[in-house]
Amino acid sequence: MSWELIIFLILAILAISCSVLVIVLKRIAHRVLSMAFTFFAVAGIYFLLRAEFIGIVQIMVYVGALSILFVFGMMMTDHKSVTFGSDKGLAQKLVSLVGVVVLLLIMLNGIFTLNVPAGDLYIGTAEQIGIDLYGNYVIAFQGAGILLLAALVGAIVLARKEAD
């Protein structure tokens, strides 16, 4: 086994286990922390794939911004009174388990029958992504920025109405 495979397995197990913890844990603060560790593990997998730019963006956007957004959401709302639904019955748990196993088998079948060409795949450099983003797609980039700003203002207005 190569060191890349060992690191990949460690990161994959960390990502899967922290994803399960996001679902299983009761306290929302622990869920957010598990989600942040999941995002870190996915960023590590991107670094293993030699996609450093996407890994850095994963850390900045998901670990940084999204986790902080959830923390602010917890601080501005009354999350202690939120319930996550009633306990599921045995039939629902069995149907869920069967569904997950079937999905896993379908995914494994797709992975093992995938025909990947040998050699390094072209990923793209940060320079090329920047040229495309600020050259060819500058209008879409600015539109996404305005849309995110409108969503932020809307969230602040909704949160202030609840406080009053």
Please give the pLDDT value at position 50: 81
Please give the pLDDT value at position 159: 81
Q: How confident is the model at residue 85 (pLDDT cuts 50, 70, 90)?
A: low
CB atoms closer than 10 angstroms to residue 31: 19
Predicted TM-score (pTM) above 0.85: no
Write b or e for each residue in 103-119: b if 16 or more Cβ atoms lie within 10 A of its Cβ, otherwise e. Answer: eeeeeeeeeeeeeeeee
Please give the pLDDT value at position 45: 92
CA dist 155 and 153 (Å) reads 5
SS (HEC) of 54-72: HHHHHHHHHHHHHHHHHHH
- Any idea of the CA torsion for 115, 120, 122, 126, to the nearest 10 degrees? 140
Please give the structure tokens belonging to residue 9: 């397995």
> Strand, helix or coil at 88?
coil
Average the pLDDT over 67-94 and give the result.
73
Q: How confident is the model at residue 81 (pLDDT cuts 50, 70, 90)?
A: low
Lowest mean pLDDT, pick from 1-15, 51-65, 76-90, 93-107: 76-90
The 10s digit of each residue's pLDDT in 15-37 is: 999 999 988 888 878 888 898 89
Residue 149 phi, psi dihedral angles, 5° rounding? -65, -40
The 10s digit of each residue's pLDDT in 108-143 is: 888 788 876 666 655 667 777 788 888 888 898 899
Report whether pLDDT(164) > 60.
no
Average the pLDDT over 147-159 and give the result.
89
